Structures are given as C-alpha cells and as structure tokens.
C-alpha cells in the first residue's frame, strides 16, 4: 500500500510517560496527521502529569489503545504459527536481529510454583470456599502435571497441540477444557456452583488473596507448553494493521481466526516477494494485501520479548507490502540496562531513549538474559 504523504503512523508498545510523549510529539512536527496505535495493558497506563498530557493530546495524536486480551491455547497456537512458521521468523533473526529467540518450551517455573506451594495451596482454596470436589480435581491435575514436569522436554511436547492432546487424554477435564481457561469459566468447568463462582469472581480482575493466586497457577499449568511469554503486543500489532477499532470486542475464536488469516496472507505475499515480484503483480497476492489498511512507519517499544515479536511481524509486513524501507525504531529503556542500550546504539538501527519513568529493568534482565549494570 502506498504511504500517505505528510501522515505518520506509529505503533507504540511501551509505558506511556511524559518523556515518551515528548518523543511522539517530535515525530508529529510539521505533519498534518499523526496516528498512534498502542498496546495498553494496565502497567502501561500513564500516571500523574503524564496521564493528563496523554489525555489532552490524544485527540491531536489520534491515539488508539488496544486493551489486554485473554490468551487461551488456541490463540497461543495461532501466534506460534505467525512467529515460528512464517517469514516473520526469518525477519526476527536476520533483519531485526532480535536479542531473543522464540521457540516452544515447557514452563518449568509454573511447575516449581505448584511444587513449592504443595498441599497448603489446596487447603487455602478449600478454606476460602472452593468445594472439596473442586479441590480434589485440582489435586489430581497437580499430581499429573508435576509427574510429567520432572521429565518434560520440548521433544516430549514439540508443539502446544501435542501438549493439549496429553492433557485431554488424562480425562481429568472435559474434552473442550482449552476453551475454559478464563477464571470464571474454569471454575464452572470444575463444577463450582453459581454462588461459589460469584463469591470468587466478585473481587475483580486484581484478585489478590493467596487462594486466588494459588488457583491462577493451576490454570497457568494448563498452558505450560508454548512460547513461554505474554504476546499481547503481537496481538495488538495484528489488530492495528488490520484496522480493528480499539473498542472492538473480539472473542478468542475471532482473534484466532484473525491471526491465522494474517499469517496466511503474509506468506502469500512473501512468496511473491521472494520471486522478485511486487505484490500487485499477482491477483492472489494483491487480494492478500488488501486487508492491511494501516502500516506503521515508526515503531516505539520497550524491548520486552513480545515487543520484538511485534517488531519482527511489522517489519516483515512492510517488506511483503513492498514498502521502500523498514520502519524506524525508537526503544524506550529504563535506567540500569546500559549493556542493552549500548548494543542497540552500536547497531545503528535503533534510536535509544533512556526514560526515568520506565521501570521494566527486571523484566528485561530476565527475558533477555542481561547482567545487572555495574
């Protein structure tokens, strides 16, 4: 698609701070239109002065915030397809040169949590009102999960589909268990009555009691095989380029279909580009490209793992659409990750902004394997 002169599209994946608002405002200088589409989980919410500034500037910037999404296994599988089995994987390694690798893994951390909490977690949940019958199902699942966790490897479960087949074969849960991993639906699947579910779910999304936290680990164990990271920013990037309204409420089934369709279209265009042709040269590729109504010229990200996935996808899309250049990339980094900042600056492919309001240094060290700065 041809880019509109004097209009700048920005995909923003990071905390909305005063510092970064200034960076975004610079991008809009001398332009008639600046459109910012952004992933907006709760920890990205602007606070204090930044909240007021982003709010009052939103009309000028045309900010669209995509809300957090619930990730079940079907959506995890679709995102695995997009990141591992399309040209995006090649772009991540050879063009973006991301300092992370995406692969299917077994989440051993969840196993450690369930092992450490032991029987005390089940007692706590029973004490807070979960029926004994529900607790018994959870105990059976925990024992099976910990039993396989001792020897679980990517060779045992090379795909999330293989993992789903193993869980289903246990017959602890109904065959459609993967569609019931949202908190309320999970309790209903286990046989909790309406009063129990209402009592457990009335605490809202920040459910903070120890028993609530215990139950979340049991749910997470059911998604223990996968890409091993949140991919909210990748979903937001797909929604952005497909022109979805920010207030659209898509079911997981609809999100899965959208991600799979995007991956298929991307590969159709990539095949044409690999042959040295333009997308417009074939009717099939031209049709495949027709749904991408918005493509960013600038990506702003805070460098966590899913940001790199979103960047690889967006850069690959630009190539497949025949854009003349890659998107410019601005990275928002917290103080204390000097090694990463220096590495990105030296590459010449990133503009680095050290933002004192960014606080994701621990996440970056864990996800990217960074040593603490001296």
pLDDT(5) > 60: yes
Query: Rounded to whole angstroms, how far apart are CA atoms 225 and 222?
Result: 8
Query: Rounded to whole angstroms, how far apart are CA atoms 175 and 38?
Result: 36
What is the predicted pLDDT for the residue at 330?
97
Q: At 205, is the pLDDT very low, low, confident or very high (cuts 50, 70, 90)?
A: very low
289-328, pLDDT tens digit by residue? Answer: 999 999 999 999 999 999 999 999 999 999 999 998 999 9
b/e sequence 54-92, b meaning 16+ C-beta within 10 Å: beebeeebebbbbebbebbbbbbbbbbbbbeebbbbebb
Q: What is the mean pLDDT of residues 193-201?
A: 86
Query: Rounded to whole angstroms, how far apart are CA atoms 157 and 150?
Result: 13
**Phi, psi at residue 174, to the nearest 5°?**
-60, 160
Q: At 350, is the pLDDT very low, low, confident or very high (cuts 50, 70, 90)?
A: very high
What is the predicted pLDDT for the residue at 157?
82
pLDDT(132) > 90: yes
What is the predicted pLDDT for the residue at 206?
42
pLDDT(258) > 60: yes
pLDDT(12) > 90: yes
Contact 328, 27 (CB under 8 A): no
**Which of 24-38, 203-217, 246-260, 301-315 shows the lowest per-residue confidence on average (mean pLDDT)?**
203-217
How far are the Cα atoms of 99, 125, 173 from residue 306, in angstroms, in the given order? 12, 33, 30
326-343, pLDDT tens digit by residue? Answer: 999 999 999 999 999 999
Contact 215, 110 (CB under 8 A): no
Query: Rounded to whole angstroms, how far apart are CA atoms 11 and 294?
Result: 10
pLDDT(128) > 90: no
Please give the distance of CA 10 from its chain centroid, rounded to a whole number. 18
pLDDT(204) > 70: no
The DSSP line for 181-230 is -SHHHHHHHTT--HHHHHHHHTT-TT--SHHHHHHHHHHHHTT-EES-S-
Name the percent of the chain lying above pLDDT 70.
88
146-179, pLDDT tens digit by residue? Answer: 988 877 665 678 777 788 899 999 999 999 898 8
Long-range Cβ contacts of 173-177 (<8 Å, 24+ apart):
173/137, 173/141, 177/222
104-125, pLDDT tens digit by residue? Answer: 888 888 888 899 988 999 998 9
Q: What is the CA radius of gyration of the chain?
A: 22
Q: Which tokens is 164 given?
A: 């789903």
Query: Rounded to whole angstroms, how far apart are CA atoms 78 and 253?
Result: 11
Long-range Cβ contacts of 188-191 (<8 Å, 24+ apart):
190/134, 190/137, 190/138, 191/131, 191/133, 191/134, 191/137
Q: Is the dihedral of CA 245, 251, 255, 260 positive or negative?
A: negative
Q: Would you call 290 helix, strand, or coil by DSSP?
A: coil
Q: Choose among 157, 159, 154, 156: nearest CA to 80.
A: 159
What is the predicted pLDDT for the residue at 313?
96
Query: Rounded to whole angstroms, how far apart are CA atoms 289 and 313?
Result: 14
What is the predicted pLDDT for the residue at 146?
92
pLDDT(284) > 80: yes
Q: What is the mean pLDDT of the chain?
A: 85
What is the predicted pLDDT for the residue at 57?
67
29-82, pLDDT tens digit by residue? Answer: 887 778 888 887 555 666 666 666 766 665 666 777 777 666 677 788 889 889
């Amino acid at each position: 698609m041809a880019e509109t002169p004097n209009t700048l599209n920005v995909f923003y994946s990071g905390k909305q701070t005063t510092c970064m608002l200034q960076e975004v405002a610079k991008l809009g200088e001398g332009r008639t239109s600046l459109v910012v589409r952004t992933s907006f989980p709760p920890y990205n919410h602007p606070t204090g002065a930044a909240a007021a500034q982003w709010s009052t500037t939103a009309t000028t910037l045309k900010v669209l915030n995509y809300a957090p999404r619930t990730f079940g296994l079907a959506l995890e599988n679709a995102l695995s397809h997009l990141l591992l089995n399309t040209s995006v994987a090649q772009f991540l390694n050879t063009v973006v040169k991301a300092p992370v690798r995406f692969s299917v893994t077994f989440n051993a951390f969840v196993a450690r949590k369930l092992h450490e909490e032991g029987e005390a977690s089940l007692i706590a949940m029973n004490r807070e009102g979960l029926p004994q019958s529900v607790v018994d199902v959870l105990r059976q699942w925990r024992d099976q999960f910990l039993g396989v966790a001792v020897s679980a490897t990517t060779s045992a479960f090379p795909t999330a589909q293989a993992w789903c087949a193993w869980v289903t074969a246990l017959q602890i849960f109904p065959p459609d268990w993967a569609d019931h991993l949202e908190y309320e639906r999970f309790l209903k699947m286990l046989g909790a009555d309406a009063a129990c579910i209402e009592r457990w779910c009335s605490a809202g999304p920040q459910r903070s009691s120890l028993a609530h936290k215990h139950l979340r680990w049991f749910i997470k164990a059911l998604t223990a095989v996968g890409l091993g990271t949140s991919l909210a920013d990748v979903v937001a990037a797909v929604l952005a380029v497909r022109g979805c309204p920010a207030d659209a409420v898509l079911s997981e089934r609809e999100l899965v279909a959208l991600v799979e369709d995007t991956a298929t279209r991307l590969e159709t265009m990539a095949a044409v580009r690999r042959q040295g042709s333009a997308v417009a040269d074939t009717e099939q590729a031209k049709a495949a490209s027709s749904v991408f109504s918005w493509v960013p010229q600038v990506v702003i990200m805070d460098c966590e793992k899913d940001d790199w996935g979103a960047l690889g996808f967006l850069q690959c899309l630009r190539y497949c659409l025949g854009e003349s250049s890659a998107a410019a990339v601005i990275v928002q980094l917290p103080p204390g990750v000097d090694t990463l900042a220096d590495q990105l600056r030296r590459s010449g492919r990133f503009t680095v902004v050290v933002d004192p309001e960014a606080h994701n240094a621990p996440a970056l060290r864990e996800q990217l394997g960074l040593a603490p700065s001296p």
